[in-house]
Amino acid sequence: MNLANKLTIFRIILVPVFMIFLLTNIKYGQYIASGTFIIAAITDQLDGHIARSRNMVTKFGKFMDPLADKLLVSAALISLTGMGVISAWITVIIISRELAVTGLRVLAASEGIVLAASWWGKIKTITQMIGIILVLLNNFPFSFANIPMDMILIWLSAAFTIISGVDYFYKNKNVFVLNTN
């Protein structure tokens, strides 16, 4: 097991740790949850960089890295929705897109096609991660200027989620064409 894959597994392990601190009434729990989420988000960037720069890309990593991302973001969004902080429709849009693109990737993989991450997908992930971090930190430091940057980024992430989903399906519509040979 290489370092990049270990970081991916570590990120998956951090998901329940994040949720425990966020959803229980532990003193400073939300701040510990925020720190845990930030560490997990950093490992997302780090494991991909390490895998590519050290030629450590594996089938395990190609499968588990996006799954770890989806688990982390979904856990945060569902928890924050349950806490009444994020609107349910935003959570539904984001998770629905993730499931739809995952289904598209599985269908493509069954035909031997690997779908690369798009630029829109990367922007979506960045806005989701930063938006969630700001929500977890009660919009710090933007709350001092009364700028709802946390919600602005959550709304932007919903928009980028839709755009990236449409982009994936449009660019890969050939996956749906039946092979008649």
Residue range 109-135, pLDDT digits in tens: 888 887 877 899 989 999 999 999 999
Name the average pLDDT for the chain: 93
- Residue 160 counted as domain residue: yes
The CATH number assigned to the domain holding 39 equals 1.20.120.1760
**Does residue 14 sit within a domain?**
yes
Considering the domain boundaries, does residue 168 fall inside one?
Answer: yes
What are the b/e assignments for 25-48, b being 16+ CB within 10 Å? eeeeebebbbbbbbbbbebbebbb
Q: Is the peptide bond before 148 cis (omega within 30 degrees of 0)?
A: no
Tokens representing 56?
A: 């450590």
In contact, 8 and 61? CB cutoff 8 Å: yes
Residue 169, in any domain of the structure: yes
Indicate the burial class of 77 (C-beta count within 10 angstroms; 0-12, 13-18, 19 or more).
buried
Residue 177 has pLDDT above 60, yes or no: yes
Rounded CA gap, 138 and 128, in Å? 15
Q: Is residue 181 part of a domain?
A: no
In sequence order, which residues have a C-beta less than 8 Å from that of residue 28 and are 6 or more positions away?
none
Average pLDDT over residues 153-179: 91
Q: What pLDDT score was predicted for residue 181?
A: 53
Domain annotation covers residue 18 = yes
Query: By the 8 A CB rule, do 126 and 80 touch?
Result: no
What is the tally of structural domains in the chain? 1
Range of the domain at 8: 3-175
pLDDT for 43 equals 93
pLDDT at 180 over 80: no
Is residue 67's pLDDT more than 70?
yes
Place of tokens 């966020």: 22
Cβ–Cβ < 8 Å for 35, 61: no
Tell me if 180 is assigned to some domain: no
Residue 65: count other Cβ atoms within 10 Å of its Cβ: 24
Is 53 a member of any domain? yes
Taking residues 84-109, report their average pLDDT. Answer: 94
Distance, in Å, from the CA atom of 18 to the CA atom of 110, rounded to the nearest integer, reads 34
- CB 33 within 8 Å of CB 136: yes
pTM (two decimals): 0.92
